[in-house]
Structure 1
Amino acid sequence: MIDDGTGLFTIGELARSTGLTVRTIRYWSDEGVLTPVTRSTGGYRLYDAESAARLELIR
């Protein structure tokens, strides 16, 4: 989790916690199935715990 108190995960952290690949999550994000909550100032996709739960459902 990003250590800024927001409770948001980078795509890599989300991949590690769900056992999916970054490529798979990025594909679902690009297809509109799983949208990032926001993007960081550097442009990284950020996801929350609800996103992780959604990944478990669509897996």
Structure 2
Amino acid sequence: MKQSIDYMAKKKPRLNVEAYFFLKCFSSLFLRSYEFIENLYCFHYQSGAKIGKSFNELA
């Protein structure tokens, strides 16, 4: 009995399931928002380049 208590005391505590779920959701949400902002920036840059090109063609 003493040996099993010592074994349980030496085991590392497991991460709580709720904390793991929260971290997983937060990280996926962060990555999605980063990709969304990156796509907005790329779209803005490409549309600005197209508008600039069309103005140069008109001039």
Tell me the TM-score normalized by structure 1.
0.23
The one of the two structures with greater contact order (alpha-carbon pairs below 8 A, sep at least 6) is: 1
Q: Which has the larger radius of gyration?
A: 2
Higher helix share: 2
